[in-house]
Chains A and B, each alone.
Chain A
Amino acid sequence: KQEVTQIPAALSVPEGENLVLNCSFTDSAIYNLQWFRQDPGKGLTSLLLIQSSQREQTSGRLNASLDKSSGRSTLYIAASQPGDSATYLCAVTPGDEFYFGTGTSLTVIP
């Protein structure tokens, strides 16, 4: 069964720093990988989706990469801001089901 791991579990950085969040998965037979953001007590907000044929996707200050053969994805956040503080989750899907990591809790210190 697919297992998704996110390291680190928590991360604290000063405002303005660039940072990288990691996501790894055990089964490379995925259809796509999706990154989400979750604010406390809220639902998940989709940030980026990378299809299995793609290597990366960009949206504003966010850049997500995918190396399917090694089972890894990274989410790069440039020039971090306090408003970026949230939990970031990645999910992979081989089709109908989605497998989520446990998330990285990010705190950006003003």
Chain B
Amino acid sequence: SQTIHQWPATLVQPVGSPLSLECTVEGTSNPNLYWYRQAAGRGLQLLFYSVGIGQISSEVPQNLSASRPQDRQFILSSKKLLLSDSGFYLCAWTVPYPDTQYFGPGTRLTVL
């Protein structure tokens, strides 16, 4: 069966510090991968998605970036965090035909 891992589960970082969140998927190959952010009391905001290694689509201009160095690994990064980057970050992947989306457990990021 397929599983998705995200770490860390929680993170508290000072403003201006770097960020690296990692997501890995097991039990499948060539998945579509997604990064979402969920701010308090708000819906899911799609940040990035990837249909293959090295292929990244960005939905929202911001100080975040994403990379996909391996087929089942998706990394969300920032060089300098802002207060507005606080939120719940969710990684997801899609099972094709039909396109069913599954989510990881999420990372709670607090920027102070």
What residues of chain A have their CB less than 8 Å away from a CB belonging to chain B?
31-32, 34, 36, 41-46, 49, 51, 89, 91, 93, 95-98, 100-103
Contact = CB atoms under 8 A, between A and B. Distances in A.
Contacts of A31: 98-99
B51 A98 contact: no
A12 to B, nearest CB: 17
B49 A45 contact: no
Contact of B108 (A34, A41, A100, A102): A41
Contact of A96 (B49, B102, B103): B49
Nearest to B4: A43
B100 interface: yes
B87 interface: no
Given A32-B98, A98-B34, A45 B103 contact: yes
A96 B105 CA distance: 21
A93 B99 contact: yes
A31 B96 CA distance: 11
Contact of B101 (A42, A46, A95): A46
